[in-house]
Amino acid sequence: METNSNLIEGDLEFSSFMEDMPKTRSRSLSLKRQGKNTTPKEPNKGLNKDRAKNLETTKNNTTNKNQEINKEDNKSSDEKTETATQERESTFKKYIDNKPNSRSSSQINKNKNKNQKKYTNSKKNEEEKGKDKGNNQKGKQKEGAEENLIKGEEPKTDPNKGKQMIEDLKQLVNKSTEKYHKLHEDYVEKMKEIMKSELEELITEFVSETLESKTVQKLKEENKNLKKENQELREKVKLLEKKTPENKKIEKIEDKVSKMYEASKETNPNLKALDAPWSEVLGRKARLAKQKQDPNLIKIQIKGDGMNRSTLGKTFKGENLDLKAEKCISGKDMVTIITKDPKVAEKLEEICKKEKDYEYRELKPYKVCTYKVTNVDDYISKEDFKSEIFKKNFQHLKWSPEKIEESIKIVATFNTVGRFSRDKLQNIFFNASEELSEILQNVKSVYLGTMRCKIHQTILILPCAKCASLYHATKYCDIKEDKRYCFRCGDTSHKIAECKNKTCCVNCKKAKKSDTEHRTGSQACPLLQAEAIKRANRFGFGNFEQENIIGGFEDLNGETSA
């Protein structure tokens, strides 16, 4: 307790002395006194001599006080060691007195005194050495720091030691960061795996729940629909059970009506004509149209720029021409006149020759007979077709080659494939002269190449490839673009052989017909049938025994020469 009181008194004296000093200086010295290493922020240079003397006196006083404190501390430590040795000796004596067969007390005391002296001497020497070293080092450090402060210099430091310290700290930091990163990565990977497993479980649970809910809803709806259908079917069964006797009555009435209709056919020819095939109906209409035609009628056609009925009347008004016409049909830059008077035709021809702006032409009725030859070999060309027909079938006629070429004109050819063979075949359409058509009316088959081919009369209507019209050929189409229709679906982006769409007739679609599920130019087209009837009336066909009269655009990979 005395040592602490002395220290406190010395500190008070030192603090009272340092009140006159600047605050920075007193603070640094107090910290040095407490044993803390601090460096002044700004070294104070050029102190007064009086202050330096005061500092030296305080330094000497503090050193003397420290020495006294150290002596007192040493005395207290020696007293403690002596008390400890006395306690050990007393315990050792008690042990020896109580122990049997022990050595003599004189010998034991001698050895004990020797050992005790050695122990005490060695201990004192070690303590003195340690105290001297510590005091010397502390004193040197304090003296050097105070001298530097008095001179206004900074304390000396080794830069190499600082660098080594910094490098050691960096290495420690790097090692610690590497360990931390490894631990962090491992932790992140483990957390990812845990999160994945948890997410998968949540997703599976959610999906299973949603699927179950959807399936349950669907099953409920299906169950409701099935119940409704079951009820409807039961109601229908009940109605059918009620209607069975009525249906039997209706069937009996139908049988009676059918028998009466068949019996009336024998007596009434008009009813019999209704059940006739379409070919017979077409031929009958053509014959009736031919019978109605007057052989004395003359058809005249006048062409010119802006020609119509009004211009025709103005031109012939000054000529004093009594124009008696049965019909006067105006078209694009032309007029067709039908009369019975041949003098009118002569006068019109004279007037057209004078003016030269108008073209006169007399339209004579002519008959075009088109025939179709099926399943012809592919190697037979158009030129060989004419010669082979006459060589193998009509050699007895002894016609010249010039007459043969005039009598046959090939209109179109279509490539086909046989149903039960892989051979390539073709169908040929040709126009025959009146003389040849009279011979071919009684012929049903013709020998060509290595086969016998069927032949029959037909009306060929080829739709225009650019606009799919039935009323003109592709040559005379007004569309100048190179556009081709697919006659199966009506599209222009692909060919017929590449088509995979549904069948749709272009002409029936434009005319807004209900039935459009057929190809353009096929026999099922109602517009094509109507056009065929018109042409039959125009050309005046006779009797047809064949069923397939219309020859349309019915083959897939057809190549026409029309």
10 part of a folded domain: yes
104 sits in the region (left: phi over 0; alpha: psi -120 to 50; else beta) called: beta
> How many Å apart are CA 348 and CA 356, to the nearest integer?
12
- End-of-domain residue from the set 333, 363, 393: 363
Domain span at residue 474 reads: 369-560
What's the mean pLDDT in 172-180?
Answer: 77
Q: How far is CA 9 from CA 5, 61, 72, 166, in A?
A: 6, 12, 16, 42
Q: Are both 353 and 384 inside the same structural domain? A: no
Q: Are both 300 and 177 inside the same structural domain? A: no
Q: Are both 18 and 140 inside the same structural domain? A: yes
Q: Are both 124 and 255 inside the same structural domain? A: no
358 part of a folded domain: yes
Q: Are both 147 and 220 inside the same structural domain? A: no
- Is the separation of the CB atoms in 49 and 42 below 8 Å? no
Least confident of 20-29, 361-370, 375-384: 20-29
Q: Are both 317 and 358 inside the same structural domain? A: yes
Which amino acid would we find at residue 338? I
Please tell me the total count of domains within the chain.
Answer: 4
290 part of a folded domain: no
Residue 80 is predicted with a pLDDT of 61
- Nearest by Cα to 423 from 376, 373, 372, 381: 376
Split at pLDDT 50, 70, 90, the class of 102 is very low
Q: Are both 133 and 165 inside the same structural domain? A: no
* Mean model confidence pLDDT for the chain: 72
What's the mean pLDDT in 230-235?
Answer: 86
283 part of a folded domain: no
- End-of-domain residue from the set 326, 346, 363: 363
289 part of a folded domain: no
Measured torsion, CA atoms of residues 487, 492, 494, 499, in degrees rounded to the nearest 10:
-40
How much is the pTM? Answer: 0.38
pLDDT in tens, 468-502: 888 888 888 888 887 888 888 888 888 888 888 88
285 part of a folded domain: no
Q: Are both 133 and 248 inside the same structural domain? A: no
Q: Are both 191 and 264 inside the same structural domain? A: yes
Q: Are both 339 and 377 inside the same structural domain? A: no
Domain CATH number, residue 317 = 3.30.70.260
286 part of a folded domain: no
In 334-400, where does DSSP find H-type helix?
342-355, 382-392
pLDDT in tens, 525-547: 888 888 887 777 665 554 443 34
The pairing of beta strand 424-432 with beta strand 445-448: unpaired
Residue 291 is predicted with a pLDDT of 60
Residue 240 is predicted with a pLDDT of 75
Q: Are both 230 and 307 inside the same structural domain? A: no
Q: Are both 373 and 448 inside the same structural domain? A: yes
384 part of a folded domain: yes
Residue 40 is predicted with a pLDDT of 47
pLDDT in tens, 244-269: 777 778 888 888 888 887 887 777 77
> How many Å apart are CA 258 and CA 251, to the nearest integer?
11
